[in-house]
């Protein structure tokens, strides 16, 4: 009888721990999170090639958040990227955000370069300074053509 009671107790503890673990993972995945709260910010870019929803947001190589949404502004043809980062991090108003790459063949992520101002970007606010994704193919093409980006006007040589 005592053996059955011990097995039932151990089984109940294992089942409760498993349910708690699964619930915690689900809550983090859905964004309910028991761990850290996140604040939303946005930035406008010309080009975000390689960035997608879920891409990491880092400061100094440390992941502090992720991309939550990407939309095209149809009026100005800029890409609005919404991010969620840890709520305990405050971004000075003069902070910049750029599309960075993890090496030559690595994935792309957003890198925040913190500024020095005492005034901070408010939650749901915009980063004023952005740097878009570098188009490596365009740079190689430009280098291979000797820096010529297109046909040049030859009218000055016609004399």
* Averaged pLDDT, 78-91: 93
The helix or strand, by DSSP H or E, that contains position 70, with its residue range, turns out to be strand 62-73
Is residue 89 over pLDDT 70? Answer: yes
Give pLDDT, residue 125. 93
Using one digit for the tens of pLDDT, what is the confidence trace for 106-129? 789 999 999 999 999 999 999 999
Give pLDDT, residue 107. 87
Is residue 157 over pLDDT 80? Answer: no
Question: How many Å apart are CA 29 and CA 26, to the nearest integer?
Answer: 5
* Averaged pLDDT, 123-138: 84
Question: How many Å apart are CA 5 and CA 119, to the nearest integer?
Answer: 61
CA trace torsion 41, 44, 49, 52 (10° rounding): 30
Give pLDDT, residue 153. 45
Higher pLDDT, 149 or 13: 13
Using one digit for the tens of pLDDT, what is the confidence trace for 50-75? 899 999 999 999 999 999 999 999 99
Give pLDDT, residue 155. 42
């Amino acid at each position: 009888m005592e053996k059955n009671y011990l097995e039932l107790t151990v089984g109940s503890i294992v089942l409760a721990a498993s349910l708690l673990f699964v619930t915690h993972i689900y809550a983090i995945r859905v964004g309910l999170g028991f761990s850290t709260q996140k604040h939303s910010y946005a930035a406008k870019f010309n080009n975000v090639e390689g960035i997608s929803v879920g891409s990491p947001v880092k400061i100094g190589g440390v992941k502090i958040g992720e991309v939550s949404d990407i939309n095209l502004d149809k009026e100005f043809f800029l890409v609005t990227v919404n991010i969620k980062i840890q709520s305990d991090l405050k971004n000075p108003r003069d902070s910049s955000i750029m599309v960075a790459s993890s090496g030559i063949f690595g994935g792309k992520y957003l890198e925040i370069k913190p500024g020095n101002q005492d005034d901070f970007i408010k939650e749901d606010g915009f980063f004023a300074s952005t740097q878009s994704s570098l188009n490596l193919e365009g740079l190689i093409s430009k280098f291979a053509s000797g820096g010529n980006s297109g046909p040049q006007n030859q009218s000055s040589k016609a004399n």
